[in-house]
Amino acid sequence: MPPKLTMPAGAQYGRLTVIEEAPRAGAGPSSSCRCACGAIVTVRNNFLVWGRTLSCGCLRRETSGKVGERNRTHGRTQTPEYRAWHGARGRCRNPTDRQYAYYGGRGITVCAEWDDFEVFFRDMGPKPSPRHSLDRIDNDGPYAPWSCRWATATEQLRNRRTTVRLTHEGQSLTLVQWSAVTGIPYTVLKDRVRYGWSAERALSQPVQSWVRGGPRSRHPHD
């Protein structure tokens, strides 16, 4: 008998937020959910996990109400990019996934924007080669545009071994997390640390642009 799929209270799927377990609806376990519009609905758990149900129905009504707009599919369900997106969401949101304990079970999430595959594909673009897979730059970070890249197995292993944390004003974060907090690009922070900048200087000095004929002000040793 397959394990029961139980959804954690507060988990978000599209416009829906799980409130509590609900009586079975049809063929499987279900949850009571609150939609962003305020409606309360009961949804089968597997429909939530795989993105089949994202609202109480208001999203579909809004979409279908746009004059002259036709429903279209992205036509990429058989692509490696779609499989990467689908796999990431399963690892983070499906308690029955064999890798869930290492992802969703320890707090790894998928950003809400990536509930839409087309947004994911727009952000990430196509895989550079069959050797590349979806990688989180920060091993403790989410699946999100600023935290992900396409990388080979070798690049991923090197990244896991060299994850750098900076401590500043009592807060210890990875470079990816500091990048999100400060707005300084990850690559700039990485270079600054490599050139021996202190945490305070690396995280406080603004990034300037190139000046023709002048110094490269974003370079760490300037």
Give me 88's structure tokens: 């990431």
Q: What is the DSSP letter of 207?
A: P
Rg (CA), the chain: 21
Cβ-proximal residues to 109 (8 Å cutoff; 6+ apart), any chain: 92, 142, 143
Domain count for the chain: 3
DSSP letter (8 states) at residue 101: G
* SS3 per residue for 115-142: HCHHHHHHHHCCCCCCCCEEEECCCCCC
Instruction: Write the pLDDT tens digit of every residue in 20-65.
Output: 988 765 557 888 888 888 888 888 887 787 777 888 877 766 655 4
CB 54 within 8 A of CB 115: yes
Residue 24 has a pLDDT of 63
Boundary residue ending a domain (49, 72, 95): 72
Q: What is the pLDDT of residue 26?
A: 55
- Claim to verify: residue 107 and residue 168 sit in the same structural domain: no
Predicted local distance difference test score (pLDDT) of residue 45: 82
111 contacts 144 by C-beta, under 8 angstroms = yes
Given CA atoms 25, 29, 35, 39 in this order, what sign does their dihedral have?
Answer: positive
- In the chain, the percentage of residues whose pLDDT exceeds 90 is 12
At 79, the amino acid letter reads: T
| Domain stop point among 111, 137, 162 | 162
Average pLDDT for 148-159: 81
Q: Are residues 157 and 171 in the same domain?
A: no
Number of H helices, E strands in the chain: 8, 8
Q: Over pLDDT 70: what percentage of the chain?
A: 79
Do 82 and 27 have their domain in common?
Answer: no
Mean pLDDT for 118-136 is 90
Q: How confident is the model at residue 132 (pLDDT cuts 50, 70, 90)?
A: very high
pLDDT above 50: residue 182: yes
Chain position carrying tokens 């939530």: 48
Same domain, 30 and 87: no
Band (88; pLDDT cuts 50, 70, 90): very high
Boundary (domain end) residue, out of 128, 162, 196: 162
Q: Could you tell me the residue range of the domain that residue 49 belongs to?
A: 1-72
pLDDT bin (cut points 50, 70, 90) of residue 134 is very high
Regarding whether 217 and 183 lie in a shared domain, the answer is yes
Question: Do 44 and 58 reside in the same domain of the chain?
Answer: yes
pLDDT of residue 72: 46
Q: Is the pTM of this model over 0.85?
A: no
- What was the pLDDT predicted at 5? 62
Contact 16, 33 (CB under 8 A): yes
Band of pLDDT at residue 159, cut at 50, 70 and 90: low
The answer to whether 170 and 180 are in contact (CB under 8 A) is no
Report how far apart, in Å, the C-alpha atoms of 201 and of each of 60, 138, 214 are. Answer: 49, 22, 22
Question: For residue 208, is pLDDT > 60?
Answer: yes
* Two tokens, residue 192: 């600054």
pLDDT band at 220 (very low <50, low <70, confident <90, very high): very low
